[in-house]
């Protein structure tokens, strides 16, 4: 497995940022607050582009200059990129996300000529309204634009160059592209054109787009251009703060409150995002996300903590070779056992369908089943054989919950 963070660090949007910086750069302190300040510039220049077509043309020209290695455009672009990466890293660190490669769109800027040459040699490029395209009528989808009217390249050109590079560099078995569903058509076009890049079919037949839905506010869709966005970093800190308030109210003497609040708050955000089918849009709702009694990350974490506290109270984990599992014949115990036994099946389904929600919902079902088991069966009892069986079942539930949660990128607290 090789993780690539394909940064959107090229394209007309950077032509817009460069134009905005030329005009108003002195008004913004991007070194102190890169993402917020660049966002403000982007919104402002985007609004101006709507009012004045000549400004939009200037932005497009800036990107063409960037591709041609214009010193000023290159200097400003590098500054934007470096500052942004430092800010992104803060969020990746909070989520404990790591990448093997940070090669974004710009990395392929010197690798696109080969793509254009191959398509030209195969007589696949056609002129359409001044742009160069590959006709895809036979697939009943719009043409794939390879070069714009001003000669600058496109997102598709860079993705095609990336496919060539990745096939040669990684010799991949399968390449998974995880993006929003807004790019479904784009990848249909790119993957179809990629079949003409003189690559072995083992590569072009194993390009997979995994689309996901968008996060929406109750008021509607978020848009950077319109300025109605919530930064993930802000959202994560808000979740942590809200959990901290709950802890201060319910369990003020809890040790390591800050670390526990961080695990619960971040876990809640991740779980909320992964609990439904990835293609569905998600309505962001704090009350739902942080409900400790609902089908949420905090509820799953609470059940895990309960398993830990029971084992701590007993003071030991039974040796599996000495456990008499025939003691677990009651219905609540059997439901839990069946779910534990089916863990690998749910993992396989989630992997084959690229659907994390299958695992997330399984973990909730297991949590609910254990809660029923716990409510109907005392764990710490005088009957040692029965206690050992129930303790080992408790240990197994905790283990599966922790492993399953880690696969979703969620850490489990030991106490709550």
- What is the tens place of the pLDDT at every residue in 133-181? 999 999 999 999 998 887 777 899 999 999 999 999 999 999 999 999 9
Q: What is the pLDDT of residue 220?
A: 55
Element (H, E) at 310: helix 297-314
DSSP three-state, residue 176: strand
Q: What is the pLDDT of residue 234?
A: 86
pLDDT tops 80 at residue 226 = no
The helix-helix angle for 34-51 and 12-24 (nearest 10°) equals 100
β-partners of residue 282 are 215
Q: Could you tell me if 24 and 38 are in contact, meaning their C-beta atoms sit under 8 angstroms apart?
A: no
**Domains along the chain with CATH numbers:** 1-102 (no CATH), 110-212 (no CATH), 232-407 (1.10.730.10)
pLDDT, mean of residues 96-107: 94
For 227, which DSSP code? T
Q: What is the pLDDT of residue 221?
A: 58
Distance CA 126, CA 7 (A): 29
Distance CA 308, CA 107 (A): 47
State pTM to two decimals: 0.89
Q: What is the pLDDT of residue 312?
A: 96
Reported confidence tier of residue 76, pLDDT bands at 50, 70, 90: very high
Distance CA 387, CA 378 (A): 8
CB neighbours of 195 closer than 8 A, spacing ≥ 6? 204
Distance CA 210, CA 391 (A): 40
Provide the percentage of residues in the chain whose pLDDT is more than 90. 81
Rounded CA Rg of the chain = 26
Q: Could you tell me if 298 and 267 are in contact, meaning their C-beta atoms sit under 8 angstroms apart?
A: yes
Give the residue, 258 or 286, on which the prediction is more confident: 258
pLDDT, mean of residues 316-326: 96
Give the residue, 129 or 265, on which the prediction is more confident: 265
């Amino acid at each position: 497995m090789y993780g690539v963070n394909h940064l959107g660090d090229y394209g007309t949007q950077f032509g817009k940022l460069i134009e905005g910086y030329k005009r108003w750069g002195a008004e913004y302190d991007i070194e102190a607050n890169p993402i917020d300040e660049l966002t403000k510039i982007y919104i402002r220049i985007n609004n101006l582009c709507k009012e004045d077509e000549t400004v939009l043309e200037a932005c497009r020209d800036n990107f063409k200059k960037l591709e041609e290695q214009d010193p000023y455009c290159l200097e400003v672009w590098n500054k934007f990129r470096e500052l942004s990466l430092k800010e992104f890293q803060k969020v990746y660190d909070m989520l404990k996300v790591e990448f093997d490669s940070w090669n974004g769109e710009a990395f392929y800027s010197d690798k696109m000529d080969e793509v254009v040459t191959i398509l030209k040699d195969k007589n696949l490029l056609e002129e359409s309204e001044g742009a160069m395209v590959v006709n895809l009528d036979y697939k009943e989808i719009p043409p794939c634009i390879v070069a714009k009217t001003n000669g600058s390249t496109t997102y598709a050109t860079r993705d095609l160059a990336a496919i060539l590079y990745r096939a040669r560099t990684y010799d991949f078995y399968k390449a998974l592209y995880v993006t929003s569903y807004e790019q479904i058509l784009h990848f249909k076009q790119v993957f179809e054109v990629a079949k003409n890049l003189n690559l072995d079919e083992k590569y072009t037949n194993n390009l997979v787009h995994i689309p996901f839905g968008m996060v929406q506010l109750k008021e509607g869709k978020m848009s950077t251009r319109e300025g109605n966005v919530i930064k993930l970093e802000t959202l994560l800190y808000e979740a942590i703060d809200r959990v901290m308030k709950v802890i201060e109210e319910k369990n003020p003497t809890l040790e390591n409150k800050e670390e526990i609040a961080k695990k619960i708050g971040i876990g809640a955000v991740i779980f909320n995002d992964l609990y439904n089918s990835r293609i569905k849009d998600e309505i962001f709702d704090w009350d739902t996300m942080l409900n400790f009694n609902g089908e949420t990350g905090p509820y799953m974490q609470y059940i895990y903590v309960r398993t830990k506290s029971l084992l701590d109270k007993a003071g030991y984990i039974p040796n599996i070779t000495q456990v008499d599992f025939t003691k677990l014949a009651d219905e609540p115990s059997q439901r839990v056992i069946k779910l534990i036994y089916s863990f690998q099946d749910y993992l396989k389904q989630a992997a084959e369908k690229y659907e994390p929600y299958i695992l997330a919902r399984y973990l909730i079902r297991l949590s609910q089943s254990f809660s029923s088991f716990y409510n109907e069966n005392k764990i710490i009892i005088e009957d040692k054989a029965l206690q050992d069986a129930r303790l080992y079942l408790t240990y197994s539930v905790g283990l599966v919950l922790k492993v399953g949660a880690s696969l979703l990128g969620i850490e489990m607290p030991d106490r709550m």
